[in-house]
Chains A and B, each alone.
Chain A
């Protein structure tokens, strides 16, 4: 696990805010993208980075793909340490509130999309 964190780009901040908004809930990539207001193609590289830095942990959905006839989803959630570091990092970057609200009104209002 690396000691440094990811670059706090605006999409990264939006993903982290979406995850912090529902800390106890595991979400799959598409769901995180919806909550953050980002497209799948943008979310997955961020998830990969956050996971490699140990901020996120992921697991496969608990089902037999052959029996269910569909592939498993990959669920993500913040690790306890990752949640603390994400909170601290978000506090440092201070995205202007009007900008965050414009980019993702649902999240800025504290509600799910």
Chain B
């Protein structure tokens, strides 16, 4: 996955991570309030199930982004899905107990609270990872700036004017420099000006290469 697709996947993943963090915050608050309002336990189950679905989506999303930098984020997503599964099971047991009219187990609620607090911390770290990965991706996209077509065409003309045996070397060298010009944020006009200057200098370069080939056989 490259360019716009990857950027879209990253934006989507970031949005999902934010949703997940918000849902988990809500779930944590609910879990803390359980001893005060037991009816909310059922809402907690729904929230956790939603959060788990989000985590699964995240893991799926990340699995499609073929970028080594995403390995850490992927591992965190897997951890998150596992922890959420466990928290949801606890919440489900709790709700079942409440539904049967049993007195809730305070230890179980405390365990759930701890599990959810860990989850919130995990989501925070995960979100930070994703932001770092996205920032690196944005930077990589800036580095990958492509020169404008007109400047490229001028460079192509310049290279065709060089002795055939020398073209490959100079094509690579001059193209790398044109890309450097584009990456520096030079406008299209500036890039075309650069291409024109190279083209104008080519007769001298061509003469130099020919004279030197005669004077100093390689």
Contacts and interface: CB of A to CB of B under 8 A. Distances in A.
A22 interface: no
A2 interface: yes
A74 B173 contact: yes
Given A30-B181, A52-B212, A73 B194 contact: no
Contacts of B205: 41, 44-45, 48
The winner among A1, A40, A49 for most chain B CB atoms within 10 A is A40
B179 A71 contact: yes
Interface residues of B, number: 28
B208 A45 contact: yes
A112 interface: no
Interface residues of A, number: 25
Contacts of A40: 174, 177, 194, 197-198, 201
A78 B177 CA distance: 20
A48 B173 CA distance: 12
Contact of A29 (B173, B204, B208): B173
Interface of A: 1-2, 28-30, 39-45, 48-49, 52-53, 60-61, 65, 69-74
24 contacts: A28-B180, A30-B180, A30-B181, A39-B201, A41-B199, A41-B205, A43-B201, A44-B173, A45-B208, A48-B212, A49-B208, A49-B212, A52-B215, A52-B216, A60-B172, A65-B172, A71-B171, A71-B172, A71-B173, A71-B176, A73-B177, A73-B180, A74-B169, A74-B172
